[in-house]
Amino acid sequence: MQSLDIISVNLWQMLVSLINLLLLFLIVKKFLYNPVKKMLKSRQDAIQSDYDDAEAAKAQAEADRQAYEEKLSSAKAEADSIIRSAVGIAGQREKEILQEANAKADGIVRQAEAEAVLERKKAEDAVRKEIVEVSSLLTEKVLEREVTAEDHRQFIDSFIESIGDDDDGN
């Protein structure tokens, strides 16, 4: 019979064991399960926060990339605008320089023409003086008579007028 005592079911002992198990479960739950659960929750929150930060950084990087591309395209457009403006200014300056050069050339041509006309008049005057001198010498020799100064002056003036009339007709 001794073997039966060992196998027998003791209700009180089972109840005490069950209470011990329940107490042990509550103690473990309070002191071990809840802190571990909190630690796992905080780790999960930290990991989620890292993921959120990574997503935010990725979104910020994408926004920065788009802003950079917009600035780059804006800078290219501005550079193109500056180049077009510079080309326009250079073209305008080219026209001004050509106009100034043409004006100077025209001025030089006009001055040369005026100098040529002046030289021609000087040459004509010199020729007239030479003719007057030659004609007075010829007249003296041809006439060899006494001519008054007034006669001499009239003769020279009429000769010069006849020469001037011949030049105007040419």
pLDDT tens digits for range 36-74? 999 999 999 999 999 999 999 999 999 999 999 999 999
Among 143, 146, 123, CA closest to 135: 143
Q: What residues contact 152, with CB distance under 8 A and at least 6 apart?
A: 136, 139
- Buried-exposed string 134-161: b where 16+ CB fall within 10 A, e elsewhere: ebeeebeeeeeeeeeeeeeeeebeebee
Predicted local confidence at residue 166, as pLDDT: 61
| pLDDT < 70 regions, the chain | 1-7, 141-147, 164-170
The CA distance from 145 to 151, in Å, is 12
The CA distance from 59 to 53, in Å, is 10
Please, what is the Cα angle at 108 between 107 and 110, to 5 degrees?
A: 65
43 conformational bin, left if phi > 0, alpha if psi -120 to 50, beta if neither: alpha
pTM of the model: 0.39
Structure tokens at 6: 């060992």
The CA distance from 27 to 39, in Å, is 18
